[in-house]
Structure 1
């Protein structure tokens, strides 16, 4: 996990050097970038399914997986933008979500 976050920090640092926007705008733009990446993932999944008759099977499931990874990494960069110390709340949130998955659903 530390290697993953180290890579995300490096990517964020590189983006911070390149960004021309004001600090508040950078946070907003990085969140909006998640939506852009999600759109690319949706397009790849649609293409892998061949669900667009005009385009047919324009993508593979490998393409879809790459785009989904881009969504995750983009969200991680956005999460680290306000503070480089956000990895701890990430672990807590992940643990809470995993605990929810292990709770009984109440269905018989």
Structure 2
């Protein structure tokens, strides 16, 4: 992976890639806060589209972290999605 060639692949780098997910989640939360205009000094600073883009950054950072751990992000997402679908509608997972 391009990131490994640039930054390496030791546990320190894996930690940074996992923590990047949290950083991106914080940016999504900040964007949502701004979309609601909750800071009276700043007012509305973001749109819902900005929030959606930040949430996409969270997903992409998670995919990079999953790949860095040696797993296929698409397969991991399918596995996780199956669990969620089973919780939401147990009958749905058997179709």
TM-score band by shorter chain is 0.7 to 0.9
Paired positions, count: 91
Gaps (5+ residues) in structure 1? 1-12
Distance in 2 (alpha carbons) for counterparts of 1:85 and 1:37? 21
Gaps (5+ residues) in structure 2? none
TM-score, structure 1 normalization: 0.74
1:53 aligns with 2:40: yes
Distance in 2 (alpha carbons) for counterparts of 1:89 and 1:40? 24
User: What secondary structure does 2:35 align onto?
Assistant: helix
TM-score, structure 2 normalization: 0.84
CA RMSD of the aligned region, Å?
Answer: 1.9
User: What secondary structure does 1:66 align onto?
Assistant: helix
Runs (4+) off by over 2 Å: 84-90
